[in-house]
Amino acid sequence: MSARERLVSVGTEMLEEHGLAGISLRSIASSAGVSHGAPRRHFPTYRALLAAIARGGIEALDLEIRPALADSEPRRGIRQAAEAYLDFAAARPEMFALITRHDLLEGAGGELREITACWFADLRQALGRARGDAVSAEDCLALWAGVHGLAALTSRRTTEPVGSPDRDKALSLILDAGFRPHQP
């Protein structure tokens, strides 16, 4: 494994264990067994290293989302993509938090939007097939905002004070609303 790959691998492990606030360029370098200056040879900034770490998480999630959205039965595919997103957020909350920080990662490399933009385009097409009408960007965004909100709330266990709401039932409510054609 090259030093670059080791930095990304160790950075991913540390992110998942300690969260974004618990890691630094120096701590990643130390855990990777390289000098504290070595990361700068491979990543011009700490944000560039974070973007490389995020790229691995997004690529892992992409392996679930893109095939689901291409399903011949679009409602099933959209649900599978949403469930994959929720499962990823629950299983890897720290990576989920990082990959959704476009404000932090923008311009840092990793070309993350090349993947996430495809998710949005694929979702919009699948939603159009499911509804049998033209789907606006806003309709698509509203549906995904509901799914993302549920993922964010459940990945951080924010819903615990209200008991144990049924995630699948909540997802069904979000999707059912999204499958209804927009009424101006």
Which fold does the domain 1-42 belong to in CATH?
Answer: Arc Repressor Mutant, subunit A (1.10.10)
DSSP 119: H
Are 61 and 88 within 8 A, CB to CB? yes
Helices (H), the chain: 3-18, 25-32, 38-42, 46-69, 74-91, 93-99, 102-105, 113-131, 137-155, 167-179
* Distance from C-alpha of 110 to C-alpha of 153, rounded to nearest angstrom: 26
The pTM for the full model equals 0.90
Cα separations in angstroms, 125 against 43, 56, 84, 120: 36, 25, 18, 9
Would you state the pLDDT for residue 53? 95
Cα separations in angstroms, 177 against 32, 74, 78, 160: 47, 15, 13, 24
Would you state the pLDDT for residue 143? 95
* Distance from C-alpha of 47 to C-alpha of 63, rounded to nearest angstrom: 24
Domain positions in the chain are: 1-42, 53-179
Give the residues of the chain that fall short of pLDDT 70. Answer: 110, 158-163, 182-184
Would you state the pLDDT for residue 98? 94
- For 25-70, the pLDDT digits (tens) are 999 999 999 988 888 889 998 999 999 999 999 999 999 999 999 9
Q: Tokens 């999204």 identify what position?
A: 178
Return the structure tokens found at 124.
Answer: 């919009």
Per CATH, the homologous superfamily of domain 53-179 is: Tetracycline Repressor, domain 2 (1.10.357.10)
